[in-house]
Structure 1
Amino acid sequence: MKLRIAILGTRGIPNYYGGFEHISEYVSEGLVKRGHSVTVYNSHNHPYQEDSWNGVEIRHCYDPEYMVGAAGQFAYDFNCLLDARKRNFDVVMIMGYTSSSVWGKLYPPKSTIITNMDGLEWKRSKYSKPVQQFLRYAEKLAVKYSQFYISDSLIIKSYLGEKYNIESKYIPYGADLFSEEEREQVDHREALKEDYFLLMARMEPENNIETILEGFNNSNSHRKFKVLGSTDNRFGKFITHKFKNDERIEFKGSIYNTGKVRALQNNSYLYFHGHSVGGTNPSLLEAMASEALIAAHNNPFNQSVLHTDAFYFSNANEVRNLVETVQRKEPEKIMVNNNLRKIKYQFNWERIIDQYEAFIIECHKNKNHERVIVD
């Protein structure tokens, strides 16, 4: 069965932004290779301005976010939905619900509607209480107006089942194995093998960046600590100011060269993953695929992926202890290899795309399934 599929809810492909753009890039291209017609909706501001990408049709819709801020996302999603209603897609897959589910009554009525339910957005500490309340409401609307659901984490799948009594399909993110070409991306004059700790994240409180750097700052380590991520926002400026006197901490800004990022992960002594909200995080999978030794924030999301193949921390003292005591010997090599095996057999992109295709086809065959109505 060959289908006409649309992917909405992202800023567009190729990925210049984040998780949903990352997975949309891989899944759209993979579905095209499997014979489907796929359209991805892009912001008119997206750096890529062509009408197709690797066989995927690109539809550019007006996105006023650059003028009015986050509120512009609602207008952008509205514009995408109006366009999608004209195009008779068999399946419309919506990535996330933050600014799209309020337009649920406009979802194309003849299309099969699948929503990837994202992480528990309303838990993010960067949002004010009113915004968190709105996100709970948006989550409820996404459940109401969708027919089928995808969870990228077993924790989220369980949450949706308990909260809304709905069945969602667990399909995680994927990652590519580390290549020899990427291994050569590190400038060895700048970064000696296993001579530094590494953290890569958006500068947000729930990513535990302050906790990690505070633990390192209090340690007696002689190694450097490289921090990857834009520090232009308020929290980023706060963090750089707080640790400006620790010459060991280097804020490197955003690095968009994937090969270089992965080489830095591979080359690090210990890679810190502080994310505490959301599903299966793409940067965590890439660190696993890059053969990094990982220290992760102690929460169910990270545990469900890493199991016993990582060190865990909950506070700055535990970070300090890891910085001062972790070694790179045989037990640590086993942890790295176990995570690499997970990428090969559980989180590889071909397997993920196969799961998406099978689920999309199954959903379309059952398109007369009643939408769940939440009182």
Structure 2
Amino acid sequence: MKAAILGTVGVPGRYGGFETLAENLVRQHQARGSGTDLAVYCSAPAYDVQPSNYLGASLYYSRWKANGLQSVLYDATTLLQCVWRGCDVVLLLGVSGASILPVIRLVSRMRIVTNVDGIEWRRDKWKGLARHFLRFSEWMAVRFSHEVVADNQGIADYLSDTYGISPKVIAYGGDHAVNLPSDACSAVRSLPCSLGYALALCRIEPENNIDMILEAFASSQRDLVFVGNWDSSDYGRRLRSKYAACANLHLLDPIYDPDELYRIRIDASFYVHGHSAGGTNPSLVEMMHFGLPVVAFDCVYNRHTTEGRADYFRSSLDLSALIACEIRADAGAWMKEIADRKYRWSIVADQYFEMLSADWQTSETLSTANQGKQQ
């Protein structure tokens, strides 16, 4: 079987949920010693060094960027390359290039499995034509994929209600985050606060309720370490300036080094998760593996991910009340139990590989049947 993973920046994964998914599927594929010919398509501008192989997977490079407007061309051209290479099945991550799927279905028997991600067109950052295009792309992905994957039951319910389909629910793994640092004495940045702080970690976007979180902690005495890309937008820069005088708020730039990130996570007392859009968020399931209590924004996706066992807030007043209270002693243990049961990469990979293999076998059966009819 020839299989390919498309739609991500590529591997080795550096940052982002889909890149982490692709990276860990490749690692699990290598660990299994599968006979499947697995390929990953990568965005050439993101990699100064472009090896042809990574952990046993073949790497192919596209001239287009995987994000922004170029993502449409990136997905479309790599799908066409998969047809040319004779792939049996592809895993398409995201819906940017879904408008070409009818053409792919017309010229090829290649099976298409699409992970639609969150309900992208509903995100606050998309307006006007971009929002309409993303909604159209979502429809095309659902209509012309052979299988559709949702990473959260809340997303699956939306797809079922909107399009009348039954998607496969496959979440993300997070156990890679608890791998011990390569050097137990690895140097990390010095934090201007004692251990036991609250921790938040995300992209600085309005839909992640950043202002709500900062407002609640600014009115408390509790230390908050908040890691994010503050300087990437006017929104982030405005918030950093607004709360710069709050001594208990420590707004750190993005941290990509896994050892340093591990140290900052392990020394926290609880995790604050403000995401209100998307599905199963990778940073949430990663933190659940640390066995810390979780305080999450109250939306259907976060409740599904945490099975209703976290503490939830819908306003800065709600969050202020939770900060002032003692976090439930058993909350962290529940998060760890759920993560071990549902959000390990070995489990996620089993689900993906089983589905990709089943799709390939279905394609082979149909091909054999068609040949028999022709004879």
TM-score strictly above 0.5: yes
Offset of residue 157 of structure 1:
1.2
Q: What is the alpha-carbon distance in structure 1 between the residues aligned to residue 355 and residue 80 of structure 2?
A: 25
DSSP-derived class of the 2:46 partner: coil
Q: CA deviation at 1:116?
A: 0.7
For 2:241, the equivalent position in structure 1 comes to 241
Aligned Cα root-mean-square deviation (Å): 2.2
Deviation at 1:8, TM superposition (A): 0.7
The 2-side partners of 1:251 and 1:190 are apart by: 10
- 2:68 alignment partner, SS class: helix
Corresponding letter in the other structure for 2:102: K
Q: Which moved more, 1:278-287 or 1:128-137?
A: 128-137
Structure 2 partner of 1:148: 147
Q: Are residue 80 (structure 1) and residue 86 (structure 2) matched? A: no
Q: Secondary structure at 1:45's aligned position in 2? A: helix
TM-score w.r.t. length of structure 1: 0.89
Pairs aligned (count): 357
2:125 aligned with 1:107, yes or no?
A: no
The whole-number CA distance in structure 2 between the counterparts of 1:336 and 1:80 is 42
Aligned to 1:21, which of 19, 22, 45?
A: 19
Partner of residue 201, structure 1: 202
Residue of structure 2 equivalent to 1:373: none
Partner in structure 2 of residue 118 of structure 1: 117
Indicate the residue corresponding to 1:4 in structure 2: 2
* Alpha-carbon shift at residue 139 of structure 1 (Å): 0.6
* Percent pairwise identity: 28
What's the CA shift string for 1:227-264, capped at 9, x where partnerless? 11111222211221221221322221110012322332
Match of 1:346 among 338, 342, 345: 342
Q: For residues 192 and 217 of structure 1, what CA distance do their matches in structure 2 show? A: 15
Matching residue of 2:31: 33
Contact 1:296 1:310 in 2 (8 A): yes
**How far apart, CA to CA, are the structure 2 residues paired with 1:345 and 1:338?**
11
Please report how far the alpha carbon of residue 176 of structure 1 lies from its aligned counterpart in structure 2 after TM superposition. Answer: 1.1
- 1:58 Cα deviation (Å)? 0.8
Deviates more, 1:52-61 or 1:79-88: 79-88
1:185 is displaced (CA, Å) by 5.3
1:117-169 CA-to-partner distances (Å, cap 9, x unmatched) read 11111111111143222211111011122111111111111111121111211
Contact 1:8–1:94 (CA<8 Å) still a contact in 2?
yes
Deviation at 1:186, TM superposition (A): 7.3
Cα–Cα, structure 1 residues 361 and 94, in superposed 2: closer, same or farther, change >3 Å? same
SS of the aligned residue for 1:110 comes to coil
**8 Å CA contact 2:42, 2:60 repeated in 1:** yes
Shift of 1:293: 1.9
Alignment deviations for residues 260-285 of structure 1 (CA, whole Å, 9 cap, x no partner): 22332221122111111111111001
State how far apart, in whole Å, the 1-side matches of 2:189 and 2:94 are: 40
SS for the counterpart of 1:268 is coil
CA drift at 1:363: 1.8
SS of aligned partner of 1:86: helix
SS for the counterpart of 2:246 is coil
Q: Distance in 2 between matches of 1:84 and 1:179?
A: 34
User: Structure 1 residue 307: deviation in Å?
Assistant: 2.7
Runs (5+) with no aligned partner, structure 2: 367-375
**Other-structure match for 1:252:** 252
CA distance in 1, matches of 2:302, 2:23: 24
1:315, distance to aligned residue in structure 2 (A):
0.6
CA distance in 1, matches of 2:65, 2:120: 22
Q: Matched residues in 2 for 1:29 and 1:179: separation?
A: 14
